[in-house]
Amino acid sequence: MPGYGGSGQAQLLRSNHQVALFGSGGTVGETVAAGTLSIAYQLERINRTFYPFGASFQLTFGGNPGAFEIDIMTSDIDEQIYYCTINSITSTAQLNPNYSGRVELPNFWAKYVAAYVKTLTNPVSVALLLTR
């Protein structure tokens, strides 16, 4: 799975669908270097006349990641310089015994989402599933 594709290339993620931001879905991960921004998605509005809307992120490591930070980022403009962190997973205490964790964004206003691997000490695979 490639990283961020570039400005204006975010694909539409329709309501009630899932995509892999890293890996190929579920728990099948990929090797991701620290400093990598995932591909971005534009989230379809559930009710196109009402804000806010939500999404969830299921993160799974292929082993103990050591010290890490995975940032969930949002933006109103699909350009890498405009993405801002809205939530983070930063500790193995936030993961279950299988090295899996979740981020729920029940209410937010931004149009685009992506994930950023800020730090990752151990070279383990990363799978990150986005559900709309």
Residue 62: what pLDDT?
95
Which tokens belong to 6? 């570039």
3-state secondary structure of 53: strand
HEC secondary structure over 67-117:
CEEEEEEEECCCCHHHCEEEEEECCHHHCCCCCEEEEEEEEECCCEEEEEE
Record the pTM. Answer: 0.89
The token duo for 34 is 């620290």
58-116 pLDDT per residue, tens: 999 999 999 999 999 999 999 999 999 999 999 999 999 999 999 998 877 888 999 99
Domains of the chain with CATH codes: 11-131 (2.60.120)
β-sheet bridge partners, residue 115 = 72
β-bridge mates for residue 93, sequence order: none
**CA distance readout (Å), 126 to 9, 17, 61, 69, 102:** 22, 20, 5, 12, 13
